[in-house]
């Protein structure tokens, strides 16, 4: 088995969360109970656990003159999968997501877009211009 990432997050509504990640983003649901659900995001396990309420207060930070949320998560994928996801999201999203290039002409140059899920989480989809620059400064 190749290493994969697992993250568990609180959610307010299991059904709405499953619908967003499956119907709108095209990912697959794994195990589901009344209290939690696993979503397969590019072979990484994202578990949502039902809670009554939660709140994250966090400041933004700046990267290349763009304000980015300090609290976010995402996936790094190849450029073909990234374009497919970008087109899929912008097909159904009423507020179109904007491509942003970070670290232009530097090590780590990448293109990202950000969206929010029904729980208020910000997801980043990222592709590096040179894959080998993913961890280089």
- Count of beta carbons in the 10 Å neighbourhood of residue 97: 17
Length of the chain: 137
Give the CATH class of 1-54: alpha beta
> Domain boundaries in the chain?
1-54, 56-137
- Tens-digit pLDDT string for the chain (137 aa): 677 888 999 999 999 999 999 999 999 999 999 999 999 999 999 999 999 888 777 777 888 887 777 788 889 999 999 999 999 988 876 666 788 988 898 888 899 999 989 998 889 999 998 888 877 65
The per-residue DSSP string of 15-54 comes to HHHHHIIIIIT--EEEEE-SSEEEEEETTEEEEEEE-S--
The pTM of this model reads 0.82
Distance between CA atoms of 137 and 133, rounded to whole angstroms?
A: 8
CATH number of the structural domain 56-137 = 3.10.180.10
CB 103 within 8 A of CB 64: yes
């Amino acid at each position: 088995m190749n290493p994969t990432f697992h993250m568990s997050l609180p959610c307010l509504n299991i059904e709405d969360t499953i619908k967003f990640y499956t119907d709108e983003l095209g990912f697959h649901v794994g195990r589901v109970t009344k209290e939690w659900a696993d979503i397969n995001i590019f072979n990484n396990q994202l578990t949502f656990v039902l809670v009554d309420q939660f709140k994250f207060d966090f400041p933004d930070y700046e990267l290349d003159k763009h304000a980015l949320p300090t609290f976010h998560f995402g996936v790094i994928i190849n450029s073909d999968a990234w374009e497919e996801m970008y087109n899929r999201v912008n097909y159904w999203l009423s507020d179109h997501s904007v491509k942003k290039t970070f670290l232009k002409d530097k090590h780590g140059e990448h293109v990202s877009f950000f969206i929010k899920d029904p729980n208020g989480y910000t997801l980043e989809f990222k592709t590096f211009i040179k894959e080998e620059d993913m961890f280089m400064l």
